[in-house]
Each structure stands twice: as C-alpha cells, then as structure tokens.
Amino acid sequence: MAIKRDKQQIRDILTLIEQFDDSVCEIASQASRQEDAAAAAMKELCDAQLHDVLRGMDVENINRDRLGIRIASLRSAGITNMEQLCALSIDEINSVKGIGDEAAWLIYTLAGRIRQEAATGLRVRVSLDDRSEAATSLLLTAKTAMVTGEAVRKAQAVYDEYHDVLRAAYLAAKPAGSTFGWLFASAEKKKAAVDASLYLYSLLTGDYGECVRELTAAYDARKIPDPALVWEDYKRNSAAYYAQLDKLDRALGTRIDNSYSGLPEELVREVEMQPLYLDALHTALRPYQEFGARYILRQGKVLLGDEMGLGKTVQAIAAMVSLRALGATHFMVVCPASVLVNWSREIAKFSDLMVTSIRGGDLAAVQKWRAAGGVAVTTYESISRFSLPEDFSFSMLVADEAHYVKNPAALRTQALLILRRKAERVLFMTGTPLENRVDEMCFLVSCLRADIAGQIREMKYISSAPQFREKLAPVYLRRTREDVLSELPELVEQEQWCEMGLSEWEHYMLSVAAENFMAMRQVSWDVGDLKKSSKARRLLELCDEAKEDGRKVIVFSYFRETLRAVHELLGGRAFGPITGSVSPVRRQELVDAFAAAGDGAVLICQVQAGGTGLNIQAASVVIFCEPQIKPSMETQAVSRAYRMGQLRSVLVHRLLCDNTVDERILELLREKQDIFDSFAEESTAGCEYMRAEKSIGAAIIQLEKERLASELPLLLTE
C-alpha cells in the first residue's frame, strides 16, 4: 500500500524546524558569549589595574629581602618603579650598566614573583572616573546580559527539552522531503518519515512553536545598550551590574565567594539547597545576599549581623517574598522610629508586598493588617501599645537594630519577646559587631536559640576563637565588606527617609506658606530643639554606627545654620565646620586634626566649601543633611573621601524627610537631570545660576503648595 506524502509541505516543515532550532541555539548560546566577553574585558581591566599597582611600587621592592641588588644602577638606567622593571626581558636587565648575568637572572625572577603576588587576589573595579574601553565593554556586557537574561534562560530550557528530540525527528523525516531519499526508502522508513513529519508539524503548531515565536520576537526586539546611557545607569544602579557580573564571573569559575566565611561546610551545603522564590523581588541580589536570604529561611530563627552597607534589609525582604510565593500572608517588621519610613519605602520599592504602618496604639492599622495581610511595619515604642489575639500567628518577625532589646527588663524587650512567640520565623538584624559584647550577644541568641546560648555562655572566654564562631554558625551570620565586596566599587549610596513630628510639620508648613524656598530646604533642622528633629536623630544614629564600625564621618550641608545645629548635636567628636570663610590653612589644620582623631570623629563641612580642594580619605562615611539643587556639588563633595588612597568602601547617606521638598527635589532630579545639568554647569555665571535656582525653587514651591492643599487632611489623619 502506497504511503501518501506532500513533499513540499514536509520540506517546509523541515526548513521551519531547522530555523526554529537554530534560533533557540543562537539565543541560548548568548550566555557563553557573554561570559567570554566579560572574561576578556575583566582580564583587560585587571591588567590595567595591575599596571597601576606596579607603577605605584618603587623599584626598591626588588631588594626587599636584602639580597644586595644594586638599585642605584637600575635608577641610573631610568627604572624607578616595578612596572618598568617587570616589562624588561633578562637580556634588557643584563644590559643595564652595573648589573651582571647572575644579578640579572635574580632580578628577573624576583620581578616575576612580585608581579604574581600583586596579581593574586586582584579584583575588578569599575570606576566612574576611568571610563576606559575595557570598562565600557564590561558594563555593556553586563547590561546586555540583564536585558537578554530571561530570553536566554528560556531558550536554554527549550533547547534542553526539545533539541535532541527535534534532531532525531528531523533525521527520521528527512527522506519524506527528498525525491531520491523517498525513492530508495523501505516502506517502514517511509511510514516513520511521515509520522516524524506529522510530529514535527504538531510541534510547530503547538506549544513549542508558540514559545519559540514569542522568544525570538522578544529577543529581536531587544534594545542594544548605548554606552553613555549605560554609564549613567551604572551610576544609579551599580549593585544590579555587579550582581550580573558576579553571575558571569562565577560561571567562569574564577570567583572566590566568601558569603559563608567561617561556617561549617555541612551547614553551607544545607543552606545552598534551600529553595528561594524571587520572581516577585524587584532587584538583583548579589550572591552573598542570596546566601543570606537562604540562611534566614533555612535556619528559621537567626541573627543577621552583616556589616553596615551590605544590604540586610533587602535580604529580609527577599526572605519574605520567597515565603509569600509559598502562601505565607502576614509579616511584621519592628524597627527604630527613625527608619520606619525607610522600611516602608524599601518594601514597596523591592516587592509587591502590601505595607501597613502601625504607629503607637493604632488599633485600626493593626486590624487592617490582620485582615489584608502583607507587612506590618512598626516601632519598638509601639509594640507594647497593641496586642494580638492569642490564636493569631504570622509567618515572620523581623527586628531591625536588634541591639535595641539588649536589656531583658525593658518594656520594649518584653513586648518583642511576646511577638516572637507568635511568629513562625524570627530574624534579628544588627550591623553592630557583637563579638566583643558577648553578654549582649548571648542574650540576643537566647531569644532565638536557647540551646546555643547555653553553649556559648560557657565559651565566653574564647569569643575570638574559631570554636566560638562555629557554635554560633546555626544562628549568627555576619559578613564584612572585606569578605564579600572585594570587587565592588567603593561607593554605596543610601537614602535615609525620616518621618517628621508635629513640630517639624508646623515649621515646614509656615515655610511653604511664606514661599521661602531656602527655609523649606532646611526642613527638620529648623525646629530649634534638636530633640524634635527626625534628621538629627537619624544623623546621630548613623554617626554612632560609624564609630562602632571603626569609621569616620563627613557631614555636608548647604546651610551654615544646619552646620551649627550639627556641631551642637555632636559635641566633642565634631571638627569644623569648614565654611567659605575658613582660610585654606585653617581648613587643612582641621582636616589633619580630624585624620589624627579616633574612630567616630566627624568633620562638618559646608558643601560649597568642603567640596573642593580637600583630600579627606580618613573618612569613609558621607552624610548629606539635605539634597543639593546642583548635582555636581554632591559629586564633588563625595569625591573628597571617594578618591585614590581610600582603603575602605565609602557609604553615602542622604537625610530626607518624607512628603516634603526633599522628595520633590529628588523627583525633579530623576526626571529632568538634563535640565538641572544645564542650569548648573560649571561654566554658568554665578548670577545666572542663582536665577536658575530661584526659578527651580518657585516651581517646587508651587508643587508643594498644591500637594499640601490636597494631601494635608490625609497626612494629619494617618
């Protein structure tokens, strides 16, 4: 019996199958191409940075073991640094007058060893001040990987599922599309060819075909990143770029990940196997943050002690997002009042979780959270003023700045422990190093794991020993920047949102009513009594944290009145202020005294004066008391600390008041950066800039008056 076939139709099917499979292969292969591109760019950057390191090493280093090498002969030949020396061959070294054969070989060997030592552990850093071709290529690769990442992952999944099956069916069907192949095929092979053709047709018209069409359409529609825009995007969102580069670097097998430094290997394996569901998380996690989120979920009741600036908040949010994906509905964050707004904004920014703020004994807000779910964000002062039903429980309790509850007798501590019993999981967070406060650590650990607390109490006398750390491993995770950020840029920027009290609101509304833009910009600092200033409270907390972390601080403000308030607040730890009326000689004296001072010292500077002509590498924390109208002014100010010679990551904090001129200025800066830049170019004459600033101020005043008129009744009732 003849087997029917439509030769042309089968040829069309085979052609389409080949095209579809090629498209999937092409997209799936982008991952390895991106890895290759990243590796090449990283190598070029590393080579450039290695040259910089060697260039900064005096040629004297070749004689560090006192082997009697004639350094004077090398200097006479113009060889003054290790970069020059490492570039020479043995013959070139031997040709230097005064250097013999044996000495040349020794110098060549030692130079190679020093070069290798300098290269070991070198990590790529992308500086905004060095936009080389290699750095641009690296960022473009990272951005491309971010843009195409989802399509590449889908293509790889489709390839894994269908490629081998398609190839087998394609080969089986091929005789049906060929005149000679069909002519000489057996009846069995003809039937198999037609069956395979029908199967391939069903794939093309089914889920496979639809998936590939959507995949290729999305991939073809991707935008090729523009280098200039990528640098601007990197400036705003460097964490996402480094998260992507981490993935590429790990895929190459070259990255050393210290996310779990000091933890037992068995615990590490268990944590890494913990599932994490982050589809609803609106940010990229770095590997150490991903490990932290898994650790929180796997261990259940833990103390996360990562150093300040490493993103403890986003790790907590990631854990809540993952739990929400599994059906969890209710979460609670307890924090100091000064960061309540920050928590609410971060949760809304990085997730789809609903946020309910509970202030004081607001029973209506408590009831709203119980009914609707999401994250309740409240303060240590509030938790003793409301209670939850005996039979009510929730999925996770997060206690930020957990050292606030170090006193077992305090009301806030007792209230938190009652809440703890209602939570399935408990996360304590603190950036304060607890290793030297063993009693405090023992109490916090006892709130989480009484069994471990009992064991470490008996080991207090060896709190610095590995055994002590190992006992704590199931409940305490702490990473430092040196552990996990060796390849990050040194700049970490954070917005610190402060919630104003009644006195602050009264002063602010009077400033708006008077259309006094400069007074509006001094929001929270103009209350007279700094105890009523939410910005002052947050600044004091940040300075205290910096001292605990062994850091020094620069505080910048545009306004001299604010500088005087900051000086009054900080007392003896403050140096300055440096203003435009301070002579250059006196400025340097203040900077020198600040550099010689101990941890926690604070240098106070007017942003217009402190932003130029000073090198303040002694500081690694920068605090702005208000956002600046002129973006370049902030950049110059930050660069006083964030420059060559800075050995630590620089943390930049911007103190901002919720629902005020601070927010309006940031919105305009983000939406109309080009307008601000044109207003504030360095070449703009002073009087023209003042007119531009006045124009911007007038626009913001009008926006604030309209907003307050519509929102004030709502704000007063919250």
pLDDT in tens, 665-684: 888 766 655 444 444 443 34
Residue where a domain stops, chosen among 423, 453, 483? 483
CATH code for position 513: 3.40.50.300
**136, 109: one domain:** no
Six token digits for residue 629: 């109208």
pLDDT of 489: 47
**CA-based nearest residue to 273, from 286, 252, 290:** 290
Give domain status of residue 243, yes or no.
no
pLDDT in tens, 585-624: 788 888 889 888 988 999 999 988 755 445 566 788 999 9
pLDDT in tens, 519-573: 999 999 999 889 999 999 999 999 998 998 888 999 999 999 999 999 999 988 9
* From 74-88, 363-377, 494-508, 661-675, the region with the lowest mean pLDDT: 661-675
Rg of the chain (C-alpha set): 31
**Cα separation, 268 vs 260, whole angstroms:** 7
Residue where a domain stops, chosen among 213, 230, 247? 230
**291, 398: one domain:** yes
pLDDT of 371: 95
**CA-based nearest residue to 614, from 580, 584, 640, 643:** 640
Q: Are 380 and 411 in contact (CB under 8 A)?
A: no
* Cα dihedral across residues 445, 447, 452, 455: positive or negative: positive
Whether the per-residue pLDDT at 212 is higher than 80: the answer is yes
Q: What's CA 74's distance to the chain center, in Å?
A: 46
Prior bond to 577 cis, omega within 30? yes
pLDDT of 614: 57
**Cα separation, 637 vs 604, whole angstroms:** 12
How many domains, in total, are found in the chain? 4
Give domain status of residue 415, yes or no.
yes
Give domain status of residue 1, yes or no.
no
Provide the pLDDT confidence category of residue 645 given band limits of 50, 70 and 90: very low
pLDDT in tens, 705-714: 887 777 655 4
**Cα separation, 566 vs 686, whole angstroms:** 28
* Cα dihedral across residues 461, 465, 468, 472: positive or negative: positive
**539, 646: one domain:** yes
In which order are the strands placed within the sheet that holds 330-335? 355-358, 374-379, 330-335, 394-399, 423-429, 301-304, 476-477
Residue 464 three-state SS: coil
Give me the domain span that covers residue 22: 7-41+130-230
List all residues 6 or more positions away from 561 whose beta carbon is below 8 Å from its beta carbon: 522, 525, 526
CA distances 277 to 239, 280, 324, Å, are 20, 8, 9
CATH code for position 92: 1.10.150.20
**476, 504: one domain:** no
Measured in degrees and rounded to the nearest 5, phi and psi for residue 105 equal: -65, -40
> Angle, nearest 10°, between helix axes 287-299 and 265-272?
90
Q: Are 251 and 35 in contact (CB under 8 A)?
A: yes
**222, 291: one domain:** no
Residue where a domain stops, chosen among 177, 195, 230? 230
User: What's the whole-model pTM score?
Assistant: 0.59
CA distances 19 to 22, 78, 86, 160, 449, Å, are 5, 62, 52, 17, 59
Give domain status of residue 49, yes or no.
no
CB atoms within 10 A of CB 430: 25
**454, 370: one domain:** yes
**CA-based nearest residue to 618, from 589, 637, 593, 652:** 593
**498, 398: one domain:** no
pLDDT in tens, 218-263: 888 777 788 888 888 887 677 677 777 777 765 554 443 455 656 7
**85, 143: one domain:** no
**693, 602: one domain:** yes
| Average pLDDT across the chain, whole number | 82
**139, 161: one domain:** yes
**611, 462: one domain:** no
pLDDT of 479: 85
pLDDT of 117: 78
Identify which has the larger pLDDT, 679 or 119. Answer: 119
Q: Are 366 and 386 in contact (CB under 8 A)?
A: yes
**423, 544: one domain:** no
List all residues 6 or more positions away from 408 whose beta carbon is below 8 Å from its beta carbon: 414, 443
Six token digits for residue 262: 């000091």
Express as a percent the part of the chain with pLDDT over 90.
Answer: 30
Whether the per-residue pLDDT at 382 is higher than 90: the answer is yes
* Cα dihedral across residues 51, 52, 55, 61: positive or negative: negative
